[in-house]
A and B are shown apart, each in its own frame.
Chain A
Amino acid sequence: MNPAAGSNQPAVTYLNHETTVASWLLTRDHKRIGVMFLVGVIFALLLGGIFAMALRIELLTPGPTVMGPMTYNRMFTLHGVTMVWLFMIPAIPSAFGNFVLPIMLGAKDVAFPRLNLASFYIYLAGSMLTVFGMLWSGADTGWTFYTPYSTVSPTTVTPILLGVFIIGFSTIITGLNFITTVHTLRAPGMHWTRIPLFVWTIYGTSVIQVVATPVLGMVLLLVTAERVLGMGIFDPSRGGDPVLFQHMFWFYSHPAVYIMVLPAMGVITEVVCAYSRKNIFGYKMVAASTFGIAFVGFFTWGHHMFVSGQSTFGSGIFGVLSMLVAIFTAIKIFNWVATLYGGSIDLKVPLLYVLGFIFLLMFGGMTGVAVATTSLDVHWHDTYFVVAHFHYIMVGAVLMAFLAGLHYWWPKMFGKLYPERWSFLAAMTIIFGFIVTFLPQFLLGNMGMPRRYYEYPREMQWLHVLSTAGASLLAFGFGLIAIYLLWSLRYGEEAPMNAWGSRGYEWYSGSPPVPHNFTEAPRFEREVHDYTVVEGPRVY
């Protein structure tokens, strides 16, 4: 259907065809579920951010600043738990994946719409239980729940363990749904070699989710059982083995890092193509490297355990395997750069975040190779070097991609444009703030500042102050984004059908899309992001 004359928008959209509260809460529309997830993860980001600022303020001075040591322990646990389990894991797959993946495939919905809605409520229930546990007394185990401490800690760990366990179910269901959708709901013409790379990364991520999450779920249940029943599986005084926990935990949680990073890479690929007006350089390589990362990711968990007493030979193997991930990642980076090269580049805000992403990913990745080197890691293990490393690579990457995707798909989701200047300012603040926050932490770690410490020697103060200053900039940037996005929902300029002139398939549907995505079945006659063929805007 061509849009009505005068307006570029379809009159009936998924946003306005029903507007009651119940029509949202009981919806089976993947787009609405995606929006609800988006709201959920943004809340989690806010909560985790508040905890983060509390940490940074405490670290402004060498001694006690605003809280006691126990509160500090709780704060970093709450920060880590919220950010990892409530924000980073669901952020891109559950929010953007839900919204755009079916549209990109030309489907009317995901395979199991009811399960999809259930997945959201399971996420909500798990998150609420987790937050309840935090408010109740707050765990002090760190987000990794290491045994044996987590089995004896006097704080309330159990609701948090169960909350994360429940969230895991949501992850599994979402993954299962996406895999099935990709296999069964591709529209005619959507061959395997035409599937957009964002969909490929979500597919790869879903495989990891389905394979790894049960392991995490079980190990969390075991810790819970140990706390409640004194089971003895991880308790050395009963003949159990606390290191077994680490094996099981990292068997999940290392791949979990890719649950966060792979979808981020998918967003980046879409954005790079759209703003350099070129199809990706090396489609097959980029798709294949996704699975390379996903696969190798299952054999690298031991790099978190170099100092746990595993054999030197084992450590060596794990170190080398870990470095393979860097090779697959490099393939992607080269392909993005090659795509940008000679492209007709339009430096809009999403592309700005891509540049931030590439920088952080490269820097974080190279420090990753450094810490995967056993001898070096013995020096850096459990210091701020590691904190800086994982913030660069996983937090930096996810955050940049999340913001890139948010801006890129904003007109698609809500039919409004965000204000260009303000968003440019916010993006610069965030990228700069991020670097200022975490670069000093590499130096701190190298000087021997251990992670999760409340006090530090006076010589380190200037670096901590710098880091806190960067964090404040970050917080400011987020505040700015929140304000102008909310503003644009109401007062923003109406977006045209395809605000960026993108050739991504999701723009075949309206902005915002009609309830079942398309008014007639879309035809996929060209490769995704093929800018070489001349084509008027077409909306199905």
Chain B
Amino acid sequence: MSTESSPWEEHFGSRENQSVAAQLGMWIFLGSEVLLFTNLFVGYAVYRYYYPEVFVEASKHLKAEWAMVQTLLLVTSSLFVVLAVHYIRQGRQLLTVLVLVLAIGMGLGFLGIKGWEYWEHWKEGALPGEYYRLEELPERGGSLFFTLYFLLTGLHAIHMLVALGLLGWLVWGALSGKYTAEYHIPVEVGGLYWHLVDIFWLFIFPLLYLVE
């Protein structure tokens, strides 16, 4: 019988197998997350095709420079998460905690910018669906652009929150000494999730902010 305190689960037979299973499970989950977002990308493609000019005009209401900053923050945070995996493999728990905390800080920075951006849209009336108030752009197409904008970035932000929670949980686990050079499956798997959230942004950013 496995005891509650041991992180190794007996039904896997071997430790390598448990690691393989955790990675495989996570990859499948990531695949299904990709498909979740794909819907919105498809919706974006369809409506972009219906209203090409409006979409280009609407995207000029977004803050592309700040989105660039956000992108840099995310890419750097991903680097730190890679480092976290690297350090925990060597059993260096404090360094792991340090880089994870840095990554969390950058994630929070990202969300802060996002919140401020939303606030600006709110003041401007660039809102989805029936709340759309922008005068300069036709409602047909314009409101759809902002609907998709809020759906994509909003869904992404929710994923960020979940992923931040995950990183926080990893920090806690690393601090309490649960992860070691032998046992670091959660750090690897959690790191994968962070990279996924990061990669979504790398698609969202050009689509919404850089359309021409």
CB neighbours (8 Å) of A213 from chain B are 32
Q: Does B131 contact A (CB under 8 A)?
A: yes
- B129 lies within 8 A of A238 (CB): yes
- A244 lies within 8 A of B43 (CB): yes
- B32 lies within 8 A of A214 (CB): yes
A195-227 vs B, Cβ < 8 Å mask (1 yes, 0 no): 000000000000000110111011100100110
Q: Does B46 contact A (CB under 8 A)?
A: yes
Known: A176-B28, A218-B39. A240 touches B33 (CB 8 A): no
CB neighbours (8 Å) of B42 from chain A are 248
Q: Does B139 contact A (CB under 8 A)?
A: yes
CB neighbours (8 Å) of A175 from chain B are 28
Q: With A and B bound together, what is the CA distance between A210 and B47 in angstroms?
A: 27
CB neighbours (8 Å) of A124 from chain B are none
- B24 lies within 8 A of A183 (CB): yes
Q: Does B29 contact A (CB under 8 A)?
A: yes
Stretch at the interface among B58-66, B118-126, B141-149: B141-149
B1-36 vs A, Cβ < 8 Å mask (1 yes, 0 no): 000000000111100010011001100110111011
Q: Does A239 contact B (CB under 8 A)?
A: yes
Q: With A and B bound together, what is the CA distance between A172 and B28 in angstroms?
A: 10
- A180 lies within 8 A of B46 (CB): no
Q: With A and B bound together, what is the CA distance between A225 and B128 in angstroms?
A: 10
Q: Does B113 contact A (CB under 8 A)?
A: no
Query: Of A217, A230, A516, which one neighbours B129 at CB under 8 angstroms?
Result: A230
Q: Does B169 contact A (CB under 8 A)?
A: no
B92 to chain A, nearest CB (A): 29
- A176 lies within 8 A of B29 (CB): yes
A273 to chain B, nearest CB (A): 28
Q: With A and B bound together, what is the CA distance between A118 and B164 in angstroms?
A: 22
- B130 lies within 8 A of A229 (CB): yes
- A112 lies within 8 A of B25 (CB): yes
Known: A113-B11, A230-B130, A232-B129. A248 touches B39 (CB 8 A): yes
Query: Of A113, A184, A217, which one neighbours B36 at CB under 8 angstroms?
Result: A217
Q: With A and B bound together, what is the CA distance between A215 and B39 in angstroms?
A: 6
Q: With A and B bound together, what is the CA distance between A172 and B36 in angstroms?
A: 12
- A218 lies within 8 A of B40 (CB): yes
Closest to A238 in B: B143
Q: Does B178 contact A (CB under 8 A)?
A: no
The count of chain A contact residues (Cβ–Cβ below 8 Å) is 40
CB neighbours (8 Å) of A225 from chain B are 151
Known: A211-B35, A215-B35. A233 touches B43 (CB 8 A): yes
Q: Does A330 contact B (CB under 8 A)?
A: no
- A109 lies within 8 A of B11 (CB): yes
Q: Does A83 contact B (CB under 8 A)?
A: no
Q: Does B172 contact A (CB under 8 A)?
A: no
The count of chain B contact residues (Cβ–Cβ below 8 Å) is 37
A367-395 vs B, Cβ < 8 Å mask (1 yes, 0 no): 00000000000000000000000000000
CB neighbours (8 Å) of A217 from chain B are 36
Q: Does A185 contact B (CB under 8 A)?
A: yes
Q: With A and B bound together, what is the CA distance between A153 and B143 in angstroms?
A: 22
Query: Of B11, B25, B139, B151, which one neighbours A238 at CB under 8 angstroms?
Result: B139
- B25 lies within 8 A of A180 (CB): yes
CB neighbours (8 Å) of A183 from chain B are 20-21, 24
- A214 lies within 8 A of B129 (CB): no
- A180 lies within 8 A of B28 (CB): yes
Known: A184-B12, A184-B21. A210 touches B31 (CB 8 A): yes
Known: A231-B129, A233-B43, A244-B46. A214 touches B144 (CB 8 A): no
State the main secondary structure of chain B at its contact with A: helix
Q: With A and B bound together, what is the CA distance between A211 and B36 in angstroms?
A: 9
CB neighbours (8 Å) of B36 from chain A are 214-215, 217-218
B190 to chain A, nearest CB (A): 15
Q: Does A179 contact B (CB under 8 A)?
A: yes
Q: Does A530 contact B (CB under 8 A)?
A: no
- B139 lies within 8 A of A180 (CB): no
Known: A239-B51, A240-B144. A229 touches B128 (CB 8 A): yes
Q: Does A264 contact B (CB under 8 A)?
A: no
CB neighbours (8 Å) of A107 from chain B are 11
Q: Does A527 contact B (CB under 8 A)?
A: no
CB neighbours (8 Å) of A230 from chain B are 129-131
Known: A180-B21, A233-B147. A172 touches B32 (CB 8 A): yes
Q: With A and B bound together, what is the CA distance between A184 and B22 in angstroms?
A: 10
- A180 lies within 8 A of B151 (CB): no
Q: With A and B bound together, what is the CA distance between A52 and B62 in angstroms?
A: 52
CB neighbours (8 Å) of A232 from chain B are 128-130, 143-144, 147
Q: With A and B bound together, what is the CA distance between A516 and B50 in angstroms?
A: 58
Known: A232-B144, A233-B43. A239 touches B50 (CB 8 A): yes
Closest to B127 in A: A229
Q: With A and B bound together, what is the CA distance between A179 and B29 in angstroms?
A: 11
Known: A111-B25, A177-B25. A233 touches B11 (CB 8 A): no
A318 to chain B, nearest CB (A): 18
Tell me the A124-142 residues at the B interface (CB within 8 Å).
none
CB neighbours (8 Å) of A222 from chain B are 39, 43, 151
Q: With A and B bound together, what is the CA distance between A210 and B129 in angstroms?
A: 31
CB neighbours (8 Å) of A348 from chain B are none
Q: With A and B bound together, what is the CA distance between A211 and B30 in angstroms?
A: 11
Q: With A and B bound together, what is the CA distance between A233 and B40 in angstroms?
A: 10
Q: With A and B bound together, what is the CA distance between A488 and B184 in angstroms?
A: 49
- B24 lies within 8 A of A239 (CB): no
Closest to B40 in A: A218
B15 to chain A, nearest CB (A): 12
CB neighbours (8 Å) of B29 from chain A are 172, 176
A269-309 vs B, Cβ < 8 Å mask (1 yes, 0 no): 00000000000000000000000000000000000000000
Closest to B54 in A: A239
- B32 lies within 8 A of A210 (CB): yes
B153 to chain A, nearest CB (A): 14
CB neighbours (8 Å) of B13 from chain A are 185
A118 to chain B, nearest CB (A): 13
Closest to B39 in A: A218
CB neighbours (8 Å) of B39 from chain A are 214-215, 218-219, 222, 248
A281 to chain B, nearest CB (A): 33
Q: With A and B bound together, what is the CA distance between A217 and B36 in angstroms?
A: 8
B103 to chain A, nearest CB (A): 25
A422-450 vs B, Cβ < 8 Å mask (1 yes, 0 no): 00000000000000000000000000000
A-B pairs, top 5 by smallest CB distance, nearest first, are A230-B130, A239-B140, A218-B39, A214-B36, A108-B11
A-B contact pairs, 24 of them (CB 8 A): A108-B11, A109-B11, A111-B12, A111-B21, A112-B21, A113-B11, A176-B25, A179-B28, A180-B21, A183-B20, A183-B21, A210-B31, A219-B39, A229-B130, A230-B130, A231-B151, A232-B144, A232-B147, A238-B129, A238-B140, A239-B50, A239-B144, A240-B144, A241-B50
